[in-house]
Amino acid sequence: MTVIAEDHGAVRVLTLNRPDKLNALDTALTRSLSEAFTAADADREIRALVLTGAGRGFCAGADLGEFSSLTPDHADAVLERAALTAKLQVQARQLRIPVVAAVRGAAVGGGAGLAIGADMVVAGTDLKFGYPELKHSIVPALVMTGLVHHLGRKLAFELVSTGRLLTAAEAFEHGLVNRVVSPDEVLPAALEIAEHWAKAEPRAIAAAKDLFYRVADLPTDAAMRAGQDVNALMRGFRG
């Protein structure tokens, strides 16, 4: 099973389960995680998600071993994988329920994108975060949007062009993670956040999350109008 789902009351923990490959994303794992996100979002008993990785690392990015078959001679497979990856990189923010990533060890390439694509991130002190694709003659095309949105352009370009990995302290300093804890406290700390979310009125937190990302991408006047709409709607959430 490439993704393990375990419920803790109203919180679902999704665990990437390829520890022998540092949870590298092949097509099967990418598809399974996307389907697990969709299933959790559709389950009205689930109010928050924790995303983590089995073993000593969160996610080592794309599984390079699969690249030998992703060639122009297999155009359908190439297009399917690109579409799956693009969907997965933004899927967490599109869910009605909030997602916290519990990240220890390596979070690189697509794994880095998955981590910062969550609504919050708890990182272990052993974090290694970055985008080393160019070292393998690969362009980090499908993870670049998320990186540029989260970081200033100078640092983002440095990470992409040099492959330098950030430490947990650097990631916290630049706002990529919310909390840094010891590696063995990463999952408990993430569960604590998710359990706090799960106590909120589910319609209210879903509306707050949706509005948060909408206003981030809107001009001020349009963002305020969107806020007014939600302000009127939320009156029906109580009682």
> Catalytic one among 133, 170, 192, 201?
133
The CA-based angle 9-10-14, given to 5 degrees, is 90
Six token digits for residue 200:
């909120």
DSSP 10-34: TEEEEEE--GGGTT-B-HHHHHHHH
Six token digits for residue 129:
């975060």
Q: Spell out the residues 6+ positions from residue 153 whose beta carbon is closer than 8 angstroms to its own.
A: none
Distances (CA, A) of 124 to 151, 187, 190, 206: 20, 9, 11, 28
Residue 168 CA to residue 172 CA, distance in Å, equals 6
Give the count of beta carbons closer than 10 Å to the beta carbon of residue 57: 23
Q: Is the dihedral of CA 9, 14, 54, 166 positive or negative?
A: negative
Residue 133 known to be catalytic: yes
Q: Name the residues annotated as catalytic.
A: 133
